[in-house]
Chains A and B, each alone.
Chain A
Amino acid sequence: MYNSPVLFDKSITIVNKFTPRNERRKFVVISDQAGYDQAKSFTSEIEGTVPVECLSINGMEDKEEIKRLILSQKMGTQFYIAAAWNNAVMIFSLGVEAGLSEAEIQTVIIGPKRRYVYCMKCFEVSEVEEEAEIAECDHCKASLEIGPFYSIVREGYIGYPYIPIGKVEVGS
């Protein structure tokens, strides 16, 4: 569905550190190589409280296995993802496709998060630095001020076009 959650830098599922949701019946922890230590320290922290199932993955090639693991869970399972950005996005999307809500997933991102701006001139997204306030569109070169509003459908923050001092207008 177009309004299903997507993972972006300010997603509510992204946390700095996992919190055990002990009211849940079971935890599933999925990590890639970058997230392995995080996953490990979480599972040892909660040892003996709630049943846990862990999966370590390498990347895209493990898609089917991740899908199978998610789909085989019963209601009341809490999912934990510890991974670098691209893998986290893949795992998160598989979870959403399988019908999970954001409340059922916690995600720790290892390394940089990716952030995109949606150009209101040409309607394409460009990747931008995590803290950037302005950007140039990769596609039409418009100067964009990065707004605070995010579109799940466009998968980017709104990019308001503006003309920097000294630059010639790109079109109207």
Chain B
Amino acid sequence: MFTQSLDFKTTDLNTFPFPFTSGNYRYSNDLKKLSNVNCIEVTPEYKLQVETKRRLLEEQPHIRFQSFSHTMEMQWEVLEMLIDMAADRYPEHFEVIKDGDKWTFKNHIFGETDSFVYGDASTLPNEPLDYIGRHFHNDFVLMVHRDSNFYLEVGQVSYAALFSANWNKGMSFDEIHAPVPFVSRKGDELADRVRKFLLSIEPGKPWTRINWNLMADRWDVNYETMDVWGPQRSEITPENAGKLVRLRVEEQKFYRMPRSNAILFVLNTQFLPLEDLTLRQEWFDLTYSVLQDIPGPMAEYKGIAPFLPQSVEYLRSIDEKKKAKINNK
């Protein structure tokens, strides 16, 4: 089944959110101001990613989408924001006609036209966020602000890295991050600091960060299929790591919703096989350096411990070949 294996990678490297800026990586509050506020992006892999996402949502509805029934109004607000962004950035691909509360949304890439009554969920085939989320390749999570914390009340998650909308439903920011060995370079606890930072995010001024992981021949590694991918990780060798191990990055964006006051968490997940790192020498060098220096608890937590040494070994052999070539010149 397609769910089990990954069959796409980023082909336009200019759209790949490469995660590393220095030769070693530790957890930190690495949020930065987002310069392009519009989160809608159509890449060469758009259709493939959206089709896969739709299939996952059909096949595994309980895993991929969760919500509380009281979130409808907040979901409509998200729908409106995403539709406006899409039509604004890509008028050739997306179109919206608003006749009072009678809206028509057109997705020209898929040749789809949907009419519905804004605010009336019974006029949509799915809940508002689930419906609109099926037009974009991103994951969307709505974290509702209650008592100085944020609670996961809606989640559409198709590219999980240990992220289950089902399990995390209703959890606070702190509960969600409890499994993360969240210590910074200075050794202090980060979760509290990051939560406080999120509280300060204002409407119209979104923030961004990049999360990363390695995947051993998988689309996602969720808790639901741990019995499957757990053992598979040991099949990675220095010989096959170049093709099978992908650098998986999540470009994360955080928007304060003006009406509901919730934080919309948008994820753009992209993959690059290790062998493609050589297309940009700087990316190769940084990744090689970072992967040699991953603290044990981080490697364990990320689930990469069983194939990290093979991946580093693969990069080392490439590096040596290149150096040998230079020396022979």
Q: Chain A residues in contact with chain B, CB under 8 A? A: 2-3, 118, 120-121, 123, 142-143, 149, 151-154, 158, 160-163, 169-170, 172
Contact = CB atoms under 8 A, between A and B. Distances in A.
A169 B172 contact: no
B166 A163 contact: no
A172 B4 contact: yes
Interface in B210-227: 223-227
B167 A172 contact: no
B227 A151 contact: no
B171 A151 contact: yes
B4 to A, nearest CB: 7
A2 B226 contact: no
A162 B226 contact: yes
B171 A153 contact: yes
B68 A2 contact: yes
A93 B202 CA distance: 37
19 contacts: A3-B172, A120-B166, A120-B167, A120-B224, A120-B226, A149-B175, A149-B179, A151-B170, A151-B175, A153-B169, A153-B170, A154-B167, A160-B223, A161-B223, A161-B227, A162-B226, A162-B227, A172-B3, A172-B4
Q: How many of chain B's residues touch chain A, expressed as a range?
A: 20 to 34
Contact of A121 (B171, B175, B224, B231): B224
A149 B172 CA distance: 13
B231 A120 contact: no
Contact of A163 (B151, B164, B223, B227): B227
Given A2-B68, A3-B146, A3-B172, A169 B167 contact: no
Contacts of A170: 227
B62 interface: yes
Given A151-B171, A162-B227, A172-B4, 12 more contacts: A2-B68, A3-B151, A120-B167, A120-B223, A120-B224, A123-B166, A149-B175, A149-B179, A151-B170, A154-B167, A154-B169, A172-B1
A36 B166 CA distance: 41
B228 interface: yes
Interface in B41-98: 62, 68
B151 A161 contact: no
Contact of B170 (A2, A118, A161, A172): A2
Contacts of A151: 167, 169-171, 175
Contacts of A160: 223, 226
B326 interface: no
Interface in B1-37: 1, 3-4
B169 A172 contact: no
B230 interface: yes
